[in-house]
Amino acid sequence: MDQMTPFLLCLGIAGIVVAINYILVTRQEQREGKPPAWNPDQIDWDAATDWRIRADIGRGNKIEAIKRYQELTGAGLKESKDVIEYLAKNPDVWEEKKKAPRPELDDAPGIRDLLEEGRDDEAVEVYRKFAGVDGYTARAAVEQIKREMKG
């Protein structure tokens, strides 16, 4: 037996003790009805609906999804992990957040003017805020407006 074996054994036991303690504390908080420190209202839905995040979660690659969420939002590791775990456990929430484009908003303040000036990204942002939709839905709607303007 080499000198590292007792050290590795102690390290493994310490890890198990920490994991058990975490589980017990978490369950105790759940039984006491304490609200979680994080809640889904904190999710940045423009980032959460990113196709790469959805694909990574679909493949079970949560680490890449967490990295991508951090990249898009600047959020910390814990917050990003919480978001990705929530999305993985609640896949239907994406469809709830993705709203259909609203044709009556085609003339939302300045969208056509922004498109004529070539400021497409700004037009998408205006549509997103005005319509209350996610970034991808807004982009699709603005692209449709742009096609109609050309036709």
Q: What is the pLDDT of residues 36-75, one digit of tens each?
A: 566 777 788 878 877 788 888 888 889 999 999 999 899 8
CB 120 within 8 A of CB 98: no
The DSSP secondary-structure symbol of 3 reads: T
How many C-beta neighbours within 10 Å does residue 103 have? 11
Q: Confirm whether pTM is higher than 0.75.
A: no
The pLDDT of residue 41 is 74
Domain ranges in the chain are 1-34, 38-97, 98-150
Closest among 128, 132, 42 to 87, alpha carbons compared: 42
Measured between alpha carbons, how far is 91 from 68 in angstroms, rounded to an integer? 17
150 pLDDT higher than 70: yes
Residue 71: both structure tokens together:
């990249």
The pLDDT of residue 1 is 53
